[in-house]
């Protein structure tokens, strides 16, 4: 039986922090969100985004320059506060149940490590029904610069990828200039993973009994959002080479581990409990809707 001292708690705290950080940094899918979202450091409770309505390409210099201007649309993402808390009973420490405590710490770290990617999956899912700076849903047929919504009952087929690519290629800035986008990433949930991999991984496709070359063979990087429901049929193609990605991960305070291990605290005295937990301030939001075209499979 261990005698609980300040020194013992300090040693346990150090061990927990090392264990947490190692697991947090090596959690599978921890960086998945970075494939479709820009990291935006935040300096306040929220951030306002004035989107570039027109960054003109090179044109012939005649009498004077013709400047582009910032769009009049404003879009704001408010940071949310996040936490997860692990209470450790004093008895568990006294009885030297360190192994069980570390298992719980690993679980805490794993859930923290996947949090950003979970949040990004939610943003993708809600993007079909959430209005952005132009008053239209993030994925919508009525954006002024061009539709980025293919429709419902649109399975992942060559014909539907053709149609989605045409929508992506048709995106225009507010001067009416084509932006020249084309897809390099296919975004799906677990329910459509097999369909995506079958099509993208197949060199030839069957068309009426005739084997034809597949124009989308190995064309896309497939990003599977594992935190979408298996029944979720939403998918999208995106151009992730444009500097501004479809989504934003806005971080004010990164996820960190905090602890309450004072032997003289009311919680330790009254309830025999010491606490470790995570704290963070951040939120996910929407970036450049013109770099993505979404659809819903049947």
CATH code at position 186: 3.90.1690
Q: Is residue 1 part of a domain?
A: no
Under 8 Å CB-to-CB from 160, ≥6 apart: which residues? 150, 154, 295
| Per-residue pLDDT tens digits for 205-244 | 888 888 999 999 999 999 999 999 999 999 999 999 999 9
Q: Is residue 66 part of a domain?
A: no
**pTM of the predicted model as reported, rounded to 2 decimal places:** 0.89
Q: Is residue 280 part of a domain?
A: yes
Q: For 47, left (φ over 0), alpha (ψ -120 to 50), or beta? A: beta
Q: Is residue 57 part of a domain?
A: no
Domain range spanning residue 173?
6-52+75-296
Q: Is residue 148 part of a domain?
A: yes
pLDDT tens over the chain, length 298 residues: 578 888 999 999 999 999 999 999 999 999 999 999 999 999 999 998 865 444 555 556 655 554 444 455 567 899 999 999 999 999 988 888 889 999 999 999 999 999 999 999 999 999 999 999 888 999 999 998 899 999 999 999 999 999 999 999 999 987 788 999 999 999 999 999 999 999 999 999 888 888 999 999 999 999 999 999 999 999 999 999 999 999 999 999 999 999 998 887 777 777 889 899 999 999 999 999 999 999 999 9
Q: Is residue 287 part of a domain?
A: yes
Helix axes 6-25, 98-113, angle to 10 degrees: 40
User: 81-95: b or e for each residue (b if 16 or more CB lie within 10 Å)?
Assistant: ebebebebeeebbee
Q: Is residue 279 part of a domain?
A: yes
Domain count, the chain: 1
The neighbour count for residue 166, using CB atoms within 10 Å, is 11
φ, ψ dihedrals at 67, nearest 5°: -75, 150
Q: Is residue 65 part of a domain?
A: no
């Amino acid at each position: 039986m261990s005698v609980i001292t300040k020194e013992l708690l300090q040693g346990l705290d150090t061990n927990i922090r090392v264990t947490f950080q190692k697991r947090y940094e090596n959690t599978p899918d921890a960086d998945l969100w970075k494939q479709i979202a820009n990291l935006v450091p935040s300096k306040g409770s929220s951030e306002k985004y004035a989107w570039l309505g027109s960054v003109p390409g090179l044109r012939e210099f005649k009498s004077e320059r013709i400047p582009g201007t910032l769009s009049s649309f404003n879009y704001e993402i408010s940071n949310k506060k996040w936490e997860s808390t692990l209470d450790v009973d004093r008895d568990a420490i006294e009885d030297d149940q360190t192994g069980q405590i570390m298992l719980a710490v690993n679980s805490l770290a794993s859930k923290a490590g996947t949090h950003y990617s979970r949040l990004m999956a939610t943003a993708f899912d809600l993007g079909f029904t959430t209005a952005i700076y132009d008053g239209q849903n993030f994925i919508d047929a009525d954006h002024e610069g061009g539709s980025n919504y293919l429709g419902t009952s649109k399975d992942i087929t060559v014909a539907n990828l053709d149609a989605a690519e045409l929508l992506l290629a048709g995106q225009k800035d507010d001067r009416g200039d084509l932006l020249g986008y084309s897809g390099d990433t296919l975004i799906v949930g677990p329910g459509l993973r097999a369909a995506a991999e079958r099509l993208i991984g197949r060199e030839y496709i069957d068309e009426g009994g005739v084997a034809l070359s597949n124009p989308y063979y190995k064309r896309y990087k497939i990003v599977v959002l594992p935190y979408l429901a298996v029944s979720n049929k939403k998918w999208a193609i995106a151009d992730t080479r444009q500097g501004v990605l479809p989504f934003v991960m806005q971080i004010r305070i990164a996820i960190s581990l905090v602890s309450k291990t004072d032997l003289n605290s009311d919680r330790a005295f009254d309830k025999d409990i010491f606490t470790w937990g995570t704290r963070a301030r951040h939120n996910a939001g929407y970036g450049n809707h013109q770099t993505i075209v979404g659809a819903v499979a049947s």
